[in-house]
Amino acid sequence: MRRFLIFSLLVLASCATTQKSSVKEDSLMITRKYVGTFVDYRQHIPEKFGEPYLIWIKTTMDSTYGKISAYGERCDFHKGDRLYIKRIYLAPGPISSYWQYQIESDDNPVTYKLSEFQHDRKNLIKNWF
């Protein structure tokens, strides 16, 4: 009788804890997004010593995404390369975790880390996913 009572409590407890999440599952699964073919880039030289160099990448989908801000002194993508933004989940320690965004190409092994703030449209990169 005691085993039956414990078993029924476990079944009820496991059924009672299921809740629907407010986050869409599909948005968590997207880790790579097409942002157009490479057209051109422009280098932004830092104004103060110690600030990082930025490159502003222009793609054929410039009307949707604007110029994409990435860290680097020069851009090694070639005209016509298909560019993708890749989202990587990093957990360096047991408590902290975050998403890192980079831009990459199918044909070129070069990747650039994206700045969290996209300067052209003045929005955060995480809003694109």
Give the pLDDT of the chain (129 residues) as one tens digit per residue.
666 556 565 565 555 445 554 444 445 566 888 989 999 998 888 888 888 888 999 999 888 888 889 998 888 999 989 999 988 888 888 888 888 889 999 888 889 988 876 766 667 676 666
**Burial annotation 45-76 (CB, 10 A radius, 16+ → b, else e):** eeeeeeeeebbbbbbeebeebbbbbbebeebe
Largest Cα span, the chain? 76
What was the pLDDT predicted at 10? 59
What was the pLDDT predicted at 128? 63
Question: CB-based contacts of 79: which residues, under 8 Å, 6+ apart?
Answer: 38, 39, 40
In what helix (H) or strand (E) does residue 15 lie, and over which residues does it extend? helix 2-16
- Categorise residue 91: left if φ over 0, alpha if ψ from -120 to 50, beta otherwise: beta
- Give the closest residue to 76 by CA, choosing from 57, 50, 51: 57
**78, two tokens:** 């070639």
What was the pLDDT predicted at 122? 64
What was the pLDDT predicted at 25? 47
